[in-house]
A and B are shown apart, each in its own frame.
Chain A
Amino acid sequence: MLGWDLAFLAVLFAAFLLCFAVQMICTHLVRRVGYVMAWLTGFACGGMGMVAAQVVMLISLPDGSRTEGLGLTLANLLIYAAYNYGYFAIIQSGVSSVSTRILLELRDAGKGLTLTELLQHYSARDMLDIRLDRLVRAGQLILKDGRYYPGKQHIRSFILVEDAVRYIILGKRPRETVV
Chain B
Amino acid sequence: MNVLLSSLLWFLPTFALHIVFCRFFPRRHSAANTAGLFGAAFVVGAGGLAWYLRMEVAAKIAVTMFHAALLYAAFAGPYLLFYVGATTRSPARIAVQEVGRSGLRGLSRDDLACFYNDKDFILPRLKQLEAAGFLVVKDGHYVLGVTGLRLLKAATFVRQLYRLPGKVG
Contacts and interface: CB of A to CB of B under 8 A. Distances in A.
State the main secondary structure of chain A at its contact with B: helix
B96 A155 contact: yes
Contact of B83 (A127, A163, A165): A165
A83 B86 CA distance: 20
Nearest to A26: B162
Interface in B137-169: 138, 140-144, 148-149, 151-152, 155, 158-159, 161-169
A100 B155 contact: yes
State the main secondary structure of chain B at its contact with A: helix
Given A100-B151, A162-B85, 4 more contacts: A103-B134, A131-B91, A147-B106, A179-B107
Interface of B: 1-4, 7, 18-19, 22-23, 26, 60, 63-64, 66-68, 70-71, 73-75, 77-78, 81-83, 85-87, 91-93, 95-109, 111-113, 115-118, 120-122, 125-126, 128-129, 134-135, 138, 140-144, 148-149, 151-152, 155, 158-159, 161-169
15 contacts: A72-B67, A75-B4, A78-B74, A82-B77, A82-B78, A94-B155, A97-B155, A112-B138, A124-B122, A126-B169, A127-B116, A128-B109, A134-B92, A162-B93, A165-B83
